[in-house]
Amino acid sequence: MTSQDNFAVRFAKHKDELEWLFMELYHNREGLKVLEQEMAEAYNARSAELKALDKARSADFCR
Domain carrying residue 47 = 3-61
| pLDDT single digits (tens) 29-62 | 999 999 999 999 999 999 999 998 988 887 776 6
User: Three-state SS string across 12-62, please?
Assistant: HHHHHHHHHHHHHHHCCHHHHHHHHHHHHHHHHHCCHHHHHHHHHHHHHHC
pLDDT at position 19 is 98
**Cβ within 8 Å of residue 26, ≥6 positions away:** 32
Q: Say if residue 22's pLDDT is above 80.
A: yes
Looking at the structure of the chain, the number of domains it has is: 1
Residue 15: pLDDT band (50, 70, 90) is very high
pLDDT at position 2 is 79
Q: What is the CA radius of gyration of the chain?
A: 13
- Does residue 14 or residue 55 have the better pLDDT? 14
